[in-house]
C-alpha cells in the first residue's frame, strides 16, 4: 500500500489538531478512501497515489495557514480543503492586524500613537518610540519585527537592552551570567510568547533567527537583513548609543524605545537616549513618535499613576 508522511515542524500538535482532534476528523471526511493516522507530530496516510497527492497538497495548505495565523478554525479548514487548489495567496492582514498571535489572537496597534509607529516604519528605517511605561511601545515594536520576519522582509530579529540595575544589585542575583541577565530580557520574551507559538519560538532562538541579548553583546557586529529593537534605551550611555546605531547594516530596520523619565544610570551620567534625540534631530530618514498617558493599555490605574508622577516632576 502506498504511504505519505507529513511532519508538523515547529508546531504544537495539540494546537494544530484541535480539541477532540477536530482538524483530522474534518480532513478524514474529505478523504474517506485513505487510512489516515496521526501520532505526535506526524501524520501518515495510506491509499492510492493520486488521492495521496491531493491529501499531501491539502495538508501543506493547512500547515502553511497555521504557521501564518497560529490557529485553525473549522471554517478555515473547510475552505482550505474545498478551495480550487491552485497556488492561492493567503489573505493579507486587514483592519490593522500586524500579527496573528498564539491561538489566533489578533495583534494590532491599539492607539493613535501606536498606529503612528506602524505607519512611520513603512517609510523609515530608524524609529525612536519615546514614552512612559505601559504605552505599548515595546510590544508594538516587537509586533512590527515579527510581522517583518513573517513577511520575509528581514531574515532575523535581534532584541537588546542595556543590563542596568534599577535599584537591584545584579551581582547578588543567583546563577550564571545568562541567569543574571534573563530578568532584564523578560519583557521581550513575554511579547514574543504572545505572538509566536512556543515550539516555533524555541526553534527560532535555537537557530539564531531570533536573538535576545544584552546591549554589550552588540559590539563589533554588523546587523544586515535584520529587524533590531533596542529597548530601555534611556539607560544607555553616550558610547553605547553610538556603538548601537553604527551596527546598522544593509536592509536593516531599527526601533529604539525608551522612557526618559525612568533613567537608572548613575548620577551625573548623561543618558544616551536624551543625547541622541538632540544630536540626530536634523537627520533625514529618522522618525520619532512620542507616546503619552493616552496610549496606556495596562490597568486603568497605570494611567492615573503616570499623571500623578508627572505632576510631582513638574513642580
pLDDT (tens digit, 9 = 90+) per residue, 176-199?
Answer: 555 656 677 788 889 999 999 888
8-state DSSP, 126 = E
Cell of 258: 525608551
Task: Name the 3-class secondary structure at 124.
Answer: coil
Say if residue 3's pLDDT is above 70: yes
Q: How confident is the model at residue 149 (pLDDT cuts 50, 70, 90)?
A: very high
pLDDT (tens digit, 9 = 90+) per residue, 74-87?
Answer: 888 888 888 765 44
Are the C-beta atoms of 35 and 45 separated by less than 8 Å? yes
pLDDT (tens digit, 9 = 90+) per residue, 106-128?
Answer: 898 989 999 999 999 999 999 99
Q: Delineate the domains of the chain, giving CATH numbers in brackets.
A: 2-82 (3.30.1370.10), 97-313 (3.40.50.300)
Q: How far is CA 269 from CA 133, 219, 237, 263, in A?
A: 22, 21, 7, 10
Helices (H), 246-297: 272-279
3-state secondary structure 93-116: CCCCEEEECHHHCEEECCCHHHHH
**Percent of the chain with pLDDT strictly greater than 90:** 47
- pLDDT (0 to 100) of residue 174: 54
Q: How far is CA 128 from CA 154, 177, 260, 273, 283, in A?
A: 19, 29, 12, 9, 13
Average pLDDT rounded to a whole number, residues 29-34: 92
Mean pLDDT score across all residues of the chain: 85
pLDDT (tens digit, 9 = 90+) per residue, 223-267?
Answer: 999 999 999 999 999 999 999 999 999 999 999 999 988 888 888
- pLDDT (0 to 100) of residue 164: 63
Are the C-beta atoms of 45 and 57 separated by less than 8 Å? no
Q: How confident is the model at residue 92 (pLDDT cuts 50, 70, 90)?
A: very low
Amino acid at each position: 500500500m502506498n504511504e505519505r508522511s507529513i511532519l508538523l515542524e515547529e508546531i504544537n500538535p495539540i494546537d494544530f489538531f484541535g480539541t477532540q482532534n477536530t482538524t483530522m476528523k474534518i480532513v478524514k471526511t474529505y478523504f474517506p478512501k485513505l487510512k489516515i493516522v496521526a501520532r505526535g507530530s506526524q501524520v501518515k496516510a495510506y491509499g492510492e497515489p493520486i488521492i495521496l497527492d491531493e491529501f499531501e497538497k491539502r495538508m501543506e495548505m493547512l500547515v502553511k495557514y497555521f504557521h501564518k495565523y497560529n490557529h485553525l478554525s473549522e471554517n478555515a479548514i473547510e475552505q482550505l480543503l474545498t478551495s480550487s487548489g491552485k497556488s492561492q495567496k493567503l489573505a493579507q492582514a486587514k483592519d490593522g492586524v500586524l500579527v496573528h498571535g498564539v491561538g489566533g489572537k489578533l495583534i494590532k496597534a491599539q492607539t493613535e500613537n501606536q498606529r503612528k509607529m506602524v505607519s512611520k516604519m513603512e517609510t523609515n528605517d530608524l524609529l525612536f518610540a519615546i514614552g512612559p511605561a505601559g504605552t505599548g511601545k515595546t510590544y508594538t515594536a516587537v509586533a512590527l519585527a515579527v510581522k517583518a520576519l513573517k513577511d520575509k522582509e528581514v531574515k532575523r530579529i535581534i532584541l537588546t537592552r542595556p543590563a542596568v540595575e534599577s535599584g537591584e544589585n545584579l551581582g547578588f542575583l543567583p546563577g550564571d551570567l545568562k541567569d543574571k541577565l534573563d530578568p532584564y530580557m523578560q519583557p521581550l520574551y513575554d511579547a514574543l510568547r504572545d505572538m509566536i507559538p512556543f515550539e516555533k519560538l524555541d526553534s527560532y532562538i535555537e537557530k539564531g533567527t531570533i536573538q535576545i541579548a544584552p546591549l554589550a553583546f552588540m559590539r563589533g557586529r554588523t546587523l544586515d537583513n535584520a529587524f533590531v529593537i533596542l529597548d530601555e534605551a534611556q539607560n544607555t550611555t553616550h558610547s553605547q548609543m553610538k556603538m548601537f546605531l553604527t551596527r546598522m547594516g544593509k536592509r536593516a530596520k531599527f526601533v529604539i524605545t525608551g522612557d526618559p523619565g525612568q533613567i537608572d544610570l548613575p548620577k551625573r551620567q548623561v543618558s544616551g537616549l536624551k543625547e541622541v534625540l538632540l544630536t540626530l534631530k536634523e537627520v533625514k530618514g529618522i522618525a520619532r513618535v512620542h507616546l503619552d498617558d493616552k496610549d496606556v493599555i495596562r490597568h486603568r490605574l497605570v494611567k492615573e499613576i503616570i499623571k500623578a508622577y508627572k505632576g510631582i516632576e513638574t513642580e
